[in-house]
Structure formats: C-alpha cells, structure tokens
Structure 1
Amino acid sequence: MTSETPLTIPTPEQIRRAPKVLLHDHLDGGLRPATIIELAREVGYEGLPESEDAERLDSWFRESADSGSLERYLETFSHTCAVMQTRDALVRVAAECAEDLAADGVVYAEVRYAPEQHLEAGLTLEQVVEAVNEGFREGERRAREAGRRIRVGALLTAMRHAARALEIAELANRYRDLGVVGFDIAGAEAGHPPTRHLDAFEYLKRENNHFTIHAGEAFGLPSIWQALQWCGADRLGHGVRIIDDIQVADDGQVKLGRLASYVRDKRVPLELCPSSNLQTGAAASYAEHPIGLLRRLHFRATVNTDNRLMSGTSMSGEFQHLVDTFRYTLDDMQWFTVNAMKSAFIPFDERLAMINEVVKPGYAKLKSEWLFHDPAPGAAPTSGSADSAG
C-alpha cells in the first residue's frame, strides 16, 4: 500500500482474521473462567468468589482489576495460581491458552509465567516447565486440527521481590531449545529494582540468552534506565513511561530526551499493553495512551494483552480499541505486527520466515479485499508503509 492508497480501516472481522504477534501475555492472567471453576472443584480449592457461574466469575475478575485497589487486583492472581498447582492443570491451562490465541488470529506468541508460583502441590521447577511446554504443544496441535496456525514459546519469569532469579535464569537456559525462548522478571517495580538480580542477567548474557524486564510500567524512567543500562534487557515489558522523557510543545513540536532517543535509536522493543496500562493508571483513556505518539515517532512499539482475563481483552480487542481511537489501518496493524515479530526471541531466520510467509501474505490478502470496497468515510492519507522504520 502507498500513501496515495485510500485508508483501509479494518472491520472487526478483519481484525480478528489478521495475523497477530503477541510478546507480553501472562499464562496465569488468561485462564478461561469455566476452567478455573472446574479446576477448583478438582483440587478442592474453596476460595473462589464465585464457584458456580463462569460469567459472574469472569465479571468479578474484570471488576477487581478495574477497582483501583492493588490488593484486590493481586487477589485475582491468587485464585488463578491456586488452581495451577498440578501437572494436569498446567497442561490444560497452557493448551487452552494456545487454542484461544490461535482462535483470535495470533500466529506467534511468547507466553510468560513464574515456575516458582506453581510448587505448592509438590511439583519441581522442571516438572512445571515440562507440563506447560506439553500444554503449549497440545494447544498448537488442536489449533492445526481446527485449521489455524500458531507457535507458542515460553518465557520463564522470576519474581523481583523473591531471591530465585538466578535459579530461574538457569532453568530457562536449560530448556532454551525445548520450548523456552527467554527469561523475564516481574513484580512490583517500586522498592524492587532489577539491579537486585544482576547475577541472573550477567549469567544470561554469558550464555547468550534473551531476556525482557518488566520496567517503566509504574515506576518510571529510572526503572527503564536500570533495565537497559545496568541489566542489558533486550526488550522492555511495558516501557510505557518512556513518554515521560518526551516533550510535546503547544505547537506540536516534539523533543526527545536522551533516554527516549536512546530507546528509539537502538530500536528497543516496547511491549505495550494498552488496556492493562489504563487499569494501572499509565493513561486515563485509549486516546491519551502514549502508543499513539510512540507509533507516530516510530519507536519499536508492539501491541500486547498482558492479562486477558483480568483486562477482559484479546489481541483483536486491543487492536479494535486502537482502530476506533486512532483510526489505525491495516497498514498500521501490519507495522505493529512486523515490529513484534522482529523483536521475538526465536532465531532470525525463523522470524524472517514468519514475516514473509505468514504475516505479510495475511495482510496482503486482507488489503486485497478493499479493492472491491469503497474506502472508509472520512478517510485521511495513510501514515505510510507498514515496514517503515520498524
């Protein structure tokens, strides 16, 4: 598509069909409500706020995440983790995760979880990883049987308030050719800087392994600076607070601070999660979310779900919000998707094959449908090629 081509504002169905790439999704934040209820019965967990009606439980998770109470938000994960303590439960949850993402048009996903949070029933760290990997492969198989394509890689997460980061990093390295594609560290940023776990990051760098760090979600620019300059992160989990280093004058002129310039110049991938960022107060609305400016300035921005259950979202849902808010086109969707695929933690040739054999042909097919339709009313010139400045 060229800048002279009329805007191709996608329909909801086209958004769902579009090939999408997901880099930031938490396994324990994406369970099906019905599965939570069934697993709770199987393991005898009696702590659910709603143990009979899946729709009401689904609403409780979303309302709790939107409550503004950190305690209530964190409670949501205590319930999901409580039913993810057995091998069978982990296999099931991982398989359903892959199925659900594939049904939503996701062709590649990196799904993260903290193995240390699934040991209460006696599983070892290795057994947790192997169960989740088995589930992802089963979900991929079911997706193929349904005529869908998806590849899922696991990111092993360490909790920044705990003291097992090096142990989890070593675990990620042992399983790096067996379904695990990288490492992550998560948890409350304030008071728990990633620099407390430098031994884990130094180990991963010595092993030439990939890692991302939750940074710049709540704590701001110091968190981003530490993740990049002290720890050497390949990507920023969220990174939305980089907007604090960008000044926009009344006349629209934009000035980047040195950290923002570094992030853009180095093409540091930002794992942006719009709906989740609204819940945590990073933006007051989708229109005010930094993703609009970051896309315009050609940062390596990507679109992600974070916690599909708690945010009541999906990749299609996230893109729908952006299309509705910024009138993003299929070109824009492809730009975000190519950004994400370029930033994935699988080998370069495999990323390139996904871009050239799956992503670009998928969007080309959707764009070709517009040859037989009028452009969207009120369309303005497109923002440019899907591949520019990725």
Structure 2
Amino acid sequence: MPTPMTPEAIRRAPKVLLHDHLDGGLRPQTVIELADTIGYPDLPTTDPAALGTWFRDAADSGSLVRYLETFAHTCGVMQSEQALVRVAAEAAEDLAADGVVYAEVRYAPELFEPSGLSLEQVVEAVQEGFRLGERNTGNKIRIGTLLCAMRQNEGWLRIAELAVRYRDAGVIGFDIAGPEAGFPPTRGLDAFEYLRQQNAHFTIHAGEAFGLPSIWEAIQHCGTDRLGHGVRIVDDITRDADGSVHIGRLAGFVRDKRIPLEMCPSSNVQTGAAKSIAEHPIGLLTDLRFRVTVNTDNRLMSGCTMSSEFAALHEAFGYGWADMQWFTVNAMKSAFIGSDERLALINEVIKPGYAELMA
C-alpha cells in the first residue's frame, strides 16, 4: 500500500525548488537578531511568532507592489557580509530539513550595495553561506544561485556580467525581479543578448502581475529558458461550455517547446494572480501537461514550505505521489545545472524516493 500523504511523509519526499528568493525566506528569529545587532529600528514587532504573522498578513494584500514592500525589512537587516553568510546558510539548512534535495535560490546583489558592499563581496558572502549550509546538512542538498537585476533599475547588464563571472563558483543563472507592470523585459535586451553569447542560463519573472505581452516578450524577444510564475499563460487558453479546451498560439508554443513554468501557488494567491489554490491555473496547466513546476517564491512572506505547497495541492486537486514525482522530475529536468548532474539526481535520489513512498 502507498504511504499515506501525511505532512511528515510529504516532508520526507525528495523535492526540487527552482524559484525561491533568499531575502524572502529568513527565519523570523534571525530577522530580529540581525536587527538588534545593527540597531535596525523599523521592525513592527520583536516577537518571532508575531513577526512571522505580520509578514504573511502584510504580503496577503492581493497586490504585487504591496507584497514587494515587505522586503524592505529583510533586506534592511542583511546589509553585511556576516548577515548574508548566515541567511544563506540557514536557507540551505531549512530547505534540506523540508526534504528539498536541489534548490535554486535567487537574490538581487544590488539590494545590498547601500551598506557599502561591492557586488563581488555580496556574491562571495552568499556563496560562502550556501556552502556552509550544505556542509551543515551533511550535503543532503545542493544549492545553485541565480542573480537578479531589479527591473525598475538600470544596469541589468552589469548583473548579467556578474553572473557569468561567478558561474564556476555556483552562480548558475540570471533573472530579473521586481514590479512587472511598466518594466517590460525588453528594457534589458543587451543583458539577454550577452547571456546568450556566453552560453549562460536565465529565467524571467513574467506573467505574474502582467499578462500575455510580458510572457511573449520574455520568450520571443529575450529568449528566456524558463518563465518565473507564468500564471497568465492561462489567458491564452479558453474552455467551451461543453468542457472542450482551446489552446492559443502563445500557450501552444510554451507547451510545445516545454518551457518550464515556475509556479508558486500560495504567493500567486497573495499577489492576486490567482483567487485561491483551488482556482489556481496550475490545475488546468497540469491537466494539459505543460512543463509545470511547484515552488515557494518567498517562504517567510507566504508562510510556506515546499511541503506545505504540495499538501495544499493535494487537498485542492487530489494530487498523489505520482503527481508529486511528476512535478519534481519536471523541475529537475528544468534546472540550470549540467545534464549528467540532473539525471543523477532523478535516477539516484528522486525516483527511488518516490518508489519507496508509492510501494
């Protein structure tokens, strides 16, 4: 008989995470301790449980812009090399404790320049933290890093160059993050052209707070490898009264090309990209066999883990172990590490882990 899908069993299942923000996943206690160390005065509370609740409530506004405002506090306490090392190490430890065997964690180095750190100091501190965290877990997890440029700012190319400069030190790709509406990905075509010339990987936040044009630009103008969120691809899919489904040209292209969708159910509900987990487009897109992956986005702001996301999808859609394995293999196939490494994790860790749960 298959193992019942209890919270503990879901936690034990091997999971792969492609879309997780470093500055969105701090432990509340760490936020408080770092704030105390530097004299940061703006936290709404210094009680860990209450602070965790505050972050979730503040992010639960239905607005991406309001959601992003919560990062002022986390970034505000991460303005030193010591803080960056600690936060990165704890991220690796927390993800491994949740059964994540491979994760790609992203952050924007430019957000930590106000304290006087150079971009290089930021990257090296974060990489030190990830390696420390991996060792602390007995190497039960591997972390790859994505460097983000903030789409409302200039200078995307310098971050793309930074990602390439550190790609042999664990930086495996590039992204643009921040407010989507009004800041299309085509603002930084020079960065994406450079990355393609350098045979570098990149993903683009698209189709979260803005619709199909954002997705189309990310794919057809910028050449993205993956879509960060991509929820609004559902706008190019229609369903008749008799239940028949019609896939538009853009959605069909995304599906045919197997462009991965980095879907973040709880976060998407918070930012208004979906009304509820049960109404999230992930259900339809999974039925239509798009390259769907499941992710956390910001574990602190959404009060979620990979395990809680899978549990919520199990409750909403009845997904079982076979579905969890499908999502996980999708993610591993879509990772920005080498093919041999991806296959090794699929064949030696992921499939055996799910076989045990399904036996």
Letter in 1 for 2:72: S
Partner of 1:119: 113
Give the equivalent residue in structure 1 for 2:12: 17
Provide the C-alpha distance between the structure 2 equivalents of 1:303 and 1:317, rounded to a whole number of angstroms. 11
Structure 2 residue 23 is matched with structure 1 residue 28: yes
Q: Which residue of 1 aligns with 2:264?
A: 273
Q: Could you tell me how far apart the structure 2 residues matched to 1:36 and 1:265 are?
A: 43
Is residue 64–residue 179 contact of structure 2 (8 Å, CA) maintained in 1?
Answer: no
CA contact under 8 A between 1:157 and 1:185: conserved in structure 2?
yes
What is the match of residue 362 of structure 1? 353
Instruction: Give 1:134's aligned amino acid.
Output: E
Q: Which residue of 2 aligns with 1:107?
A: 101
Whether 1:150 aligns to 2:144 is no
| Alpha-carbon distance between aligned partners in 1 of 2:63 and 2:322, rounded to the nearest angstrom | 38
What displacement does 1:28 show?
0.3
Could you report, residue by residue, the CA deviation over 1:139-162 in whole angstroms, capped at 9, with x for unpaired residues?
001111xxx610000000001111
- CA-to-aligned-CA distance 1:243-282 (integer Å, 9 cap, x gap): 0000111211111000000000000000000000001111
Matched, 1:94 2:85: no
How many Å separate the matches in 2 of 1:300 and 1:354? 18
| 1:47 paired residue number | 42
Q: In the alignment, is residue 82 of structure 1 matched against residue 73 of structure 2?
A: no
Aligned equivalents of 1:32 and 1:64: distance in 2? 16
Aligned residues: 359
Quick check: 1:114–1:158 contact (8 Å CA) kept in 2? yes
Cα pair 2:24 2:71 within 8 Å, conserved: yes
Structure 1: unaligned runs, 5 residues or longer: 1-5, 369-390
Amino acid at match of 1:235: R
3-state DSSP of counterpart to 2:357:
helix
Looking at structure 2, the residues matched to 102 and 61 of structure 1 have their Cα atoms a distance apart, in angstroms, of: 23
Listed as ranges, the matches of 1:257-336 within 5 Å are: 257-336=248-327
The one-letter code of the counterpart of 2:352 is P
Cα deviation for residue 137 of structure 1 reads 0.4
- The SS at the match of 2:129 is helix
Inter-CA distance 341–285: structure 2 relative to 1 (3 Å threshold): same
Report the TM-score when normalising by structure 2: 0.98
The CA deviation at 1:68 is 3.7
- Secondary structure at 1:162 match in 2: coil
Partners of 2:350 and 2:65 in 1: CA distance: 40
1:95 Cα deviation (Å)?
0.2
Greater C-alpha Rg:
1
Q: Contact conserved, 1:169 with 1:204, CA < 8 A, in 2?
A: yes
Q: Deviations over 1:216-252 (max 9, x none)?
A: 0011100000000000000000001000000111211
Q: Secondary structure at the match of 2:238?
A: strand
| 1:297-317 deviations in Å (ceiling 9; x for gaps) | 100000000000000000001
The separation in 2 between residues aligned to 1:348 and 1:166, in whole angstroms, is: 27
- AA partner of residue 34 (structure 2): L
TM-score of the superposed pair, with normalisation by structure 1 = 0.90
Residues 9 and 327 of structure 1 are in contact (CA less than 8 Å); yes or no, is this contact kept in structure 2?
Answer: no
The 5-angstrom pairing of residues 127-142 of structure 1 reads: 127-142=121-136
- The whole-number CA distance in structure 2 between the counterparts of 1:71 and 1:282 is 12
1:348 correspondence with 2:339: yes
Q: Is the Cα contact below 8 Å between 1:9 and 1:329 reproduced in 2?
A: no
Matched, 1:174 2:165: yes
CA contact (8 A) 1:22 1:108 kept: yes
Deviation string, structure 1 residues 96-135 (Cα, Å, up to 9, x no partner): 0000000000000000000000112211000000000000
SS at structure 1 position matched to 2:319: coil
**Structure 1 position 72, deviation (Å):** 4.3
Task: For residue 73 of structure 1, report the CA deviation from its aligned partner.
Answer: 2.6
Aligned to 2:205: 214
Deviation at 1:341, TM superposition (A): 0.1
**Distance (whole Å) between structure 1 residues aligned to residue 263 and residue 308 of structure 2:** 14
User: Which of 213, 228, 235 is residue 219 of structure 2 equivalent to?
Assistant: 228
CA contact under 8 A between 1:28 and 1:81: conserved in structure 2?
yes
Opposite residue 365 of structure 1, the aligned amino acid is: E
Aligned-partner residue type, residue 76 of structure 1: T
Instruction: Please tell me whether residue 200 in structure 1 is matched to residue 195 in structure 2.
Output: no
Question: Aligned residue for 1:383?
Answer: none
Take 2:3 and 2:209, find their aligned partners in 1: how far apart are those partners?
35
CA displacement at 1:69 relative to structure 2 = 5.4
Provide Cα deviations, 1:309-347, integer angstroms capped at 9, x if missing partner.
000000001000000111101000000000000000001
Contact persistence 1:7–1:329 (CA under 8 A): no
Q: What's the CA shift string for 1:9-41, capped at 9, x where partnerless?
A: 622221110000000000000000000000001
Question: Counterpart of 2:114 in 1: which secondary structure?
Answer: coil
- In structure 2, stretches of 5+ residues that fail to align are none
